[in-house]
Chains A and B, each alone.
Chain A
Amino acid sequence: MNRAVIIWRVASFLVAAGFIALWQLIANLKLVSPVFLPGPDRAWGALVRGFSSGDLWSKLAGTLEHMAYGWLAASIAGIAIGAIIGSSRTMRTYVAPSLEFLRPLPVSAIIPVAIAMLGLTQAMALFVIAFGAIWPIMLATIHGFAAVEPRLYEVARSLQMSRLAVIFKIALPSASPDILAGMRLSLTVALILSVVCEILAGLDGLGHWVLLSARAFRSADLFAGVILLGLTGYVTSVAMSLAEHRLLAWQAAQR
């Protein structure tokens, strides 16, 4: 690690510490009523209490589960559909316009539809999360498949490779940088929609915890939940970056 990197790390750490100090100061001076704004000390206390009683663990597990199932379903479906559309020029010309119409549709608009069809259930949550998270993955996959170097298909033809081999050895790896970037975007979408669905349908998870804490004016618990959600987003995105880095080591060589 070189010096510049270390300096940046230290600087960003100091900025974070500064924010927490400022937060503590505002809370101590009671600039905002303690009913609404706990200090970092009380929020931390609530976190510790929540984890030691086990309550927060189960909420965290609930949210992670919603997020993971939705995201995985979106990834599998998004890659499969994206591959089919992206690898055929006719499909692209006919299907792409409809996708462009559906894509900007806010997912919140389909939540009532999902609730009407599936009720306030886990299935509804899974559907909504997957529906919202599929777009970045599917569009990235379409793009990745459409951008495969045609020369490589000629290499595949002259090697008489099977269709399946062409998909798995040529098209998918070639599209993988796009696909992984799409999957990373979807991760955030999946987290947001998990919280939304938990709040709307009262499903076990951090979203529900945050809602209940707010209703009961337990601001420390509320903040503990929010902090945990932030951390979840951060950690999953870092994990995704690490996975990308490993899977795309060949790209690092290219630069």
Chain B
Amino acid sequence: MASAAKRLEAVSGTAAPQISFDAVTLQLGGKTIIENLSLGVRPGEFLCIVGASGCGKTTALRLAAGLYQPTGGKVNFDGQPMREPRREIAIVFQDYGKALLPWRTAAGNVSLALEAGGTPSAERPARIEELLRTVGLPGHAGKYPSEMSGGMQQRLQIARCLAQEPKTLLMDEPFGALDAMTRQGLQDEVLSLVAASGATVIFVTHDLDEAIYLGDRVIGLLPHPGRIGIELKVNLPRPRDQLSTREHPEFLRLRRQLFDFIKATEQ
């Protein structure tokens, strides 16, 4: 119930932002990648970011993770300036194959986050089992990542991120490399995981449908340099449903609007 209240707050916009970009500019190698980006993400909000390839989505997410420091402006987390990455902010990378430790089993990979968070070793096995069950990998604890399919590896990465007990979950095209069926299944799983934990999410994707399906709000970035070009509030009922949500007139209207925007930026 608490998370539902939080979500309502997030959507209605009364809460103070958990992550805020304040006129953020980032230059890399003498090139301005992000310019004057201002953005607030409220606690419990599910924000999706879309945009053409190379417009700075990943860069924006890395700024939110503290992996980059802005060259101008400020990134704040809970009102404090972000100086470095922190455990409360978990990041799910698109290239799950590179983000997992190949020499550790599924259980070992989840354990990495628990070890870093100081969970006593006696409590880890139970936590690991619970987390693997949560992401739909029960009974795979002893497998190495290389013995798992792409979808399973991405689930495993999500499990490790959940082990951080993050306040914010950053996801960079997490399902980009997966087939359509696996993708839809994981979309619903992420939605229910997030609903259960009340975490704030910033979700980067290429897929406009995915963005609308998942998000409370969708932001479209303009390229060269990256800045906000469109901002849409998604007033679709939750829990969402793969069939009825995607047929909802509001869904179709938003989809049309977003599609036109992306098309215009690509010219």
Contacts and interface: CB of A to CB of B under 8 A. Distances in A.
Interface of A: 149, 151-152, 154-155, 157-161, 165, 169-170, 173-174, 176, 250-251, 253-254
A159 B164 contact: yes
A159 B98 CA distance: 16
Interface string B74-108: 00000000001111011101010011011110000
Contact of B67 (A157, A250, A254): A157
Contact of A160 (B85, B104, B144): B85
B85 A151 contact: no
B67 A154 contact: yes
B103 A158 contact: no
A251 B117 CA distance: 28
A251 B102 CA distance: 8
Contacts of B85: 154, 157-158, 160
Contacts of B117: 159
Contacts of A254: 102, 144, 146
Contacts of A155: 93, 99, 112
Residue among A149, A155, A158, A161 having the largest count of chain B Cβ atoms under 10 Å: A158
Given A157-B84, A159-B113, A253-B146, A170 B164 contact: no
19 contacts: A154-B67, A155-B93, A157-B67, A157-B85, A158-B65, A158-B67, A158-B164, A159-B87, A159-B112, A159-B116, A160-B86, A160-B116, A161-B116, A173-B101, A250-B102, A250-B104, A250-B144, A251-B103, A254-B102
Given A158-B67, A161-B116, A152 B101 contact: yes
Given A149-B98, A154-B67, A161-B116, A253 B87 contact: no
B57 to A, nearest CB: 17
Given A151-B93, A250-B144, A254-B144, A158 B101 contact: no
A150 to B, nearest CB: 8
A251 B147 CA distance: 11
A170 B108 CA distance: 12
A198 B110 CA distance: 51
Q: Is the interface of B mostly helix, strand, loop or mixed?
A: loop
B207 interface: no
B87 A160 contact: yes
B115 interface: yes
Contact of B103 (A151, A160, A165, A173): A173
A170 B101 contact: yes
Contacts of B65: 158
A157 B146 CA distance: 23
A-B pairs, top 8 by smallest CB distance, nearest first, are A159-B116, A254-B146, A151-B98, A158-B85, A253-B144, A250-B103, A157-B85, A173-B103
Given A159-B164, A254-B144, A176 B103 contact: yes
Given A250-B103, A254-B144, A152 B98 contact: yes
Given A149-B98, A151-B95, A174 B103 contact: yes
Contacts of B102: 250-251, 254
A199 to B, nearest CB: 42
